Amino acid sequence: MGQPVNVGIVGCGAISAQYLRTIERLPQVRLVAVADLDLERAREAVLPYPEVEVLGVAELMADPRIGVVLNLTIPAAHAEIALLAVAAGKDVYCEKPLAATSEEARRVLRAAEEAGVRVGCAPDTVLGTGTQTARVAIDDGLIGRPVAATATMMTPGHERWHPNPDFYYVPGGGPLLDMGPYYITSLVTMLGPVASVIGAAGRTRSKRTIGSGPRQGEEIPVTVDTHVTGVLVHASGALSTLVMSFDAAATQAPRIEVHGEQGSLVVPDPNHFDGPVLLSGVGDEGWRTLPESAGYAGAGRGVGLLDFAATGEPRAGGTLAFHVLDIMESLLASAHSGRAVTVESTCERPRPVALETAGG
């Protein structure tokens, strides 16, 4: 192993604790400093880590020790923070989506290319044993030629538990841009890039009520679609049917199924790193669980940073994240126009992950 990468986090809200826990156990990654618009929040986040400095955003960007900026701000700030990191000559790894719009994301990728720095982006959950084992099963021909997939995420909405859920209901949020990255990144990992989409979408309410925390009972505006459905036409010809909703009480539908000419797979929740992958061949009775055969075992959010310690395009990379954002925007454009939309971007499937324990 070479030198660990030195990381600075910008944005110390709800998700930061999970990253802090992962980084703590990855010898390839060292957290140097954190920053947030709310300095008190940043201080609280690193109370268990006295060696980590609390800095202003500009100070963190200027810190020569930091090689990678981990951008855990809200979607509306993703591009702004990523562009600051790139301008400072640092690699950047962003929470999803890569930016609130593909136009902003394109600016980030262009600036990074010109500056010769790398862009990574969540979700890295798909580098875990769940999606990776399913990918290997497909690549090994266990279901024959893949022809279709379903992906279903239906909940009543994050305002029930998140103390500051405003960002989930403005552009950059909604069930599609918030949860779609997990599902679509998993689908692209298994079935390859998407060439065109057909969508339909709805919005049930113009306001939501915060369900927990100091702002409980406060109403927040909804300016995005909260139930989005559609079909993704993969370049391979496979068809994925997607349902992403903040308008349902619950569901028993599998998160993801992939169907091939010879068999079907149940793929675990792509918002998690692991879970059983089930296979049923044509004519089989019932399902059998496949042994874990690929992916980071025991991983947590932040494992995508591991590729920054090596060279090359990170597997949780900017080009893939851009394609996923482009697919989602195209789906919404299709929903609003009532016509199929060609997805202009494409990407390679990310390199597979051999079975290993995250962090070694």
Ligand X SMILES: NC(=O)c1ccc[n+]([C@@H]2O[C@H](COP(=O)([O-])OP(=O)(O)OC[C@H]3O[C@@H](n4cnc5c(N)ncnc54)[C@H](O)[C@@H]3O)[C@@H](O)[C@H]2O)c1
Rounded Cα gap, residues 325 and 244, in angstroms: 14
From the CB of 81, what's the least distance to ligand X, in Å?
Answer: 6
From the CB of 27, what's the least distance to ligand X, in Å?
Answer: 24
Q: Of 76 and 142, which has the nearer Cβ to ligand X?
A: 76
Q: Of 37 and 282, which has the nearer Cβ to ligand X?
A: 37
Residue 20, phi-psi category: left (phi > 0), alpha (psi -120 to 50), beta (remainder): alpha
User: Strand, coil or helix: what is 2?
Assistant: coil
Check residue 75 for interaction with ligand X (CB under 6 A).
yes
From the CB of 335, what's the least distance to ligand X, in Å?
Answer: 21
Q: Which of 53, 91, 95, 326 binds ligand X (CB under 6 A)?
A: 95
Output the CA angle 83-85-87, nearest 5 degrees.
65
What tokens were used for 105? 């994301």
Distance, first Cα to last Cα, the chain: 10
Contacts of 60 (CB under 8 A, 6+ apart): 8, 10, 33, 34, 35, 66, 69
Check residue 321 for interaction with ligand X (CB under 6 A).
no
From the CB of 265, what's the least distance to ligand X, in Å?
Answer: 25
Q: Mark out the alpha helices in the chain (DSSP H runs).
A: 16-24, 39-45, 57-62, 75-87, 102-115, 129-139, 174-191, 318-337
In the structure, how many helices (H) and strands (E) does the chain have? Answer: 8, 19
Q: Which of residues 7-66 bind ligand X (CB under 6 A)?
A: 10-15, 36-38, 41, 57
Q: Of 107 and 355, which has the nearer Cβ to ligand X?
A: 107
From the CB of 143, what's the least distance to ligand X, in Å?
Answer: 30
C-alpha closest to that of 201 among 158, 151, 150, 247: 247
From the CB of 239, what's the least distance to ligand X, in Å?
Answer: 27
Q: Residue 188 in contact with residue 349, Cβ under 8 Å?
A: yes
From the CB of 12, what's the least distance to ligand X, in Å?
Answer: 5
Check residue 257 for interaction with ligand X (CB under 6 A).
no
Rounded Cα gap, residues 242 and 335, in angstroms: 13
* Nearest position to ligand X, beta carbon: 13
How many beta carbons lie within 10 A of that of residue 188, not counting itself? 24
Check residue 77 for interaction with ligand X (CB under 6 A).
yes
Candidate ranges 69-77, 216-224, 242-250, 328-336; the one touching ligand X (CB under 6 A): 69-77
Candidate ranges 70-78, 142-150, 235-243, 291-299; the one touching ligand X (CB under 6 A): 70-78
From the CB of 61, what's the least distance to ligand X, in Å?
Answer: 10
Give the total of residues touching ligand X (CB under 6 A): 23
Q: Which of 115, 144, 160, 164 binds ligand X (CB under 6 A)?
A: 164
Check residue 73 for interaction with ligand X (CB under 6 A).
yes
Check residue 224 for interaction with ligand X (CB under 6 A).
no
What tokens were used for 116? 């010769």
Residues that bind ligand X (CB under 6 A): 10-15, 36-38, 41, 57, 72-75, 77, 80-81, 95-96, 162, 164, 178
